[in-house]
Structures are given as C-alpha cells and as structure tokens.
Amino acid sequence: MKPPPEPAPLESGGPGPSDSRILHVDMDAFYASVAVRDAPELRGRPVIVGGGNRGVVLSATYEARAFGVRSAMPMARARGLCPTAVVVPADHGRYREVSRAIMDVFRDVTPLVAPISLDEAFLDVGGGRRLFGTPVDIARAIRGRIATEQGLTCSVGVAPSMFVAKIASARCKPDGLLVVPPDEVLAFLHPLPTAALWGVGPRTEQALTRLGIRTIGDIARTPADTLRRALGAGAGGHLHALAHGRDGRRVEPDGVDVSVGAEETFSADLADPERLARELLRLSGRVAARLRARGQAARKISIKVRHADFSTVTRARTLAEPTDVTWVIYRTAGELFDELRATSRPLVRLLGVRAARLSAAGRTSHQLAFDERPSGWAEVDRATDGARRRFGEESVRPASLLPDRPRRPAPPREWGPGRV
C-alpha cells in the first residue's frame, strides 16, 4: 500500500499588526529529516529513527506517519504498522550540531531566542523591524535560510503570545507559516479542541469532557470558578486565561530550559535494585559529562521511568544551587527513584536522567559545609574527563560499573550514612 503524498506547504494570513511579534519555529520531523538529508537515497521513503524492538520511535518522516507511526510509539508496533520503513539509529551528536546552526540563524535576527528543545524555539522579533522588516518577513527569511543552509524545512507560527504561536506552528505542519493577528486570536482558538491548550493532557481532557467541555471556546464560556472546582485553582485559572487569549509570558533566553539528558531502554525488563542503581549512576555520569563539556551546570534534576506496560512516570527536584558534579546528580536521581519505588516496584523498561534549568558553570558561589572539602568530587570529575579525553570514554569508570561488580554504588562519605 502506497502512502498518500505529503500535505502541500501551507501559508496562511497576511502581514499582521506589529503586536504579532512572537515566533514559534518548529523543525519538521527533525531527527528523521536530518537522516534523510544526510542519506539522499532515503528521500521519499518511510523512515523511522529509533532502535530495537524494545525501543521507541524518536522521529518518523511524514511518509511513515501516513501509516500511523508516531513519536514515542513502541518500535515493535511501528514496524507492524509500516513494515517497509527504513529504521535508522539515532545520532544525537549530529542533531546537536545541526541544532546549533539553526539556533545561530535565529540569533542573527534577535537575541531574544528561547530554545525549548533541539528542534524548536520561541523568538521575539519585535526589535528587528527596522533591520529585517515585519515579523512575517522575518519568519519567511528564517524559513528560507534554514532551507538553503541546512536543507531542512520548518513550520512557523506568528502570533501576539507564546502559546498562540506554538499552536499556530502545529496547525500549519509540515513546512508551513501561519499568522494569527491580535484581533483574530479568539476566532482562531475557540474552534480548537481542548487538547490544543498547554496543560491539557489526557486526564485533564477527560475531566473537561465530563463537564461537556470539548473546545477551547467551551472553556472560555465556562465560569472560572467551575473550572477551578473541577481542575484545581491553579489549573482552572490557567486554562480560563489561555482560553481568553491571555498569556503574559515573555520570551526570555534564560527563562526557558534547554535540558541535557540520557536514557536507556533495556534489552530485558529490570527489577533488581542493584542493577537499577548502577544504571542510574551510569546515566548520571553521562549527563554530568555533557554538562561539563558545554560549560554548564543544572539546578533541576529529573528521572524518567517507563515500566513494562509502557506507563511512564517522571519525578524532579530543584537543587539549592547549580551543579555539574556526577555524584550530586546521582544522589538526587537516586533519592527520586527510591521515593518512586517505595510505593510500587513494577518492572522497569526504560530509565532516564535529565538536567534542566541550566546556567553557565561557576556562575554561583558555593557555601561549604563544615566538613566539606573545597573541591572533592568536582576535582575527581575533572581528572576523569582528562583521562577519558586522552585514553577513550571507557578508560575510567566507577568501580561499581566494572563487570561482575554487583554492589550498589555508595554515596560519598561526606553525605553521611544512608541510601542514595
């Protein structure tokens, strides 16, 4: 069965008023598009980026999506839906390289760039009118440069606020440009399903449906107190404001996280706490090394746990100060994992560690504890980084990660007794 052709590029709306100054730029099927660009013989074929039957789809071309393949879908199901797809492994180093070049295009236009992942970012282009023209002119120029310099397509939403711009970019995929002027925001939003709003996941959508609320317009017409009683004060008030087009956030380069993470899908589901602790240490080390390589430190550490039934749980904690130290990240991840496992112990299919709220390393001072050494584990990390640069990535590892070492990694002595 041959999939239908890709949708034609869409460009909607004319040059809007100057208040539509926010752009949301979202690369189209980024990982898969980079893979096809680098291997032109794949062009026009269904391509899936992922690996192994136990993994998940990271990205898929629109030819594969026509068969029902979607990101985060189990690879076994994706192969069943599209058995003719070409499966290519992820190349995260390559994606980061291309992402840096794309972000440089954005920063040539405005310093107000807030990336939210490797393949999407918000831009405030209000200050670029004199040099670059209207926000719509700027959006067109960005799309042209990315196509010319990178051989990739992107979709751009132009709107007065961040959340409307993001919805607009999603509504014009792939390879589209959609402009929402200020006086058309409500007409644009209100026919859309509630799930289009930030903060409406499956559970919230179900709660709204029980109230007979199915569109954003329905939310806007529902009294705020009713929403607060049904969803909670914070969520109810937030959704009511968005449904009326109110979003006071600004594009702040330091205000939207770019995160650094590592995760592993296991060849067999795991339950052994010692093995899981070693995997947490391995992933924490990878995250810390990437932070140090980028000259960054993180103040928020999170874990992701996917169980054998594909249910996924995340937990996060904000630190007192930013860190790029392996043992601090591991200690925090371990505490989060122990709290999660205290309530249930299902088999673990995937484990991930992520660092967010990034800042330049060394930006903050550190108040030493009474018995803390001035360098300690940070010094160990620096020595380890040097050895790995000289002798290879596998030349230095914690003893607990060596083969046939079943013991759980122990916390540093200055943390005191107790489990990590």
The answer to whether 71 and 84 are in contact (CB under 8 A) is: no
Give me the phi and psi of 102, to 5 degrees please.
Answer: -70, -45
Task: Give which of 388, 398, 411, 387 is closest to 327, Cα–Cα.
Answer: 411
Residues 6+ apart with CB under 8 A from 402: none
Helical H segments across 110-134, by residue range:
129-132
Direct distance between the N- and C-terminal alpha carbons of the chain, in angstroms, rounded to an integer? 53
Cite the active site residues: 120
Kindly calculate the radius of gyration of the chain based on its CA atoms and give it in whole angstroms. Answer: 23
Establish whether 38 is an annotated binding residue. Answer: no
Number of H helices, E strands in the chain: 15, 13
Establish whether 26 is an annotated binding residue. Answer: yes
The answer to whether 49 and 32 are in contact (CB under 8 A) is: yes
Which helix (H) or strand (E) segment holds residue 349: the answer is strand 348-360
Q: At what angle do helices 92-109 and 135-150 cross, to 10 degrees?
A: 140
Q: Which residues are annotated as a binding site for Mg(2+)?
A: 26, 119
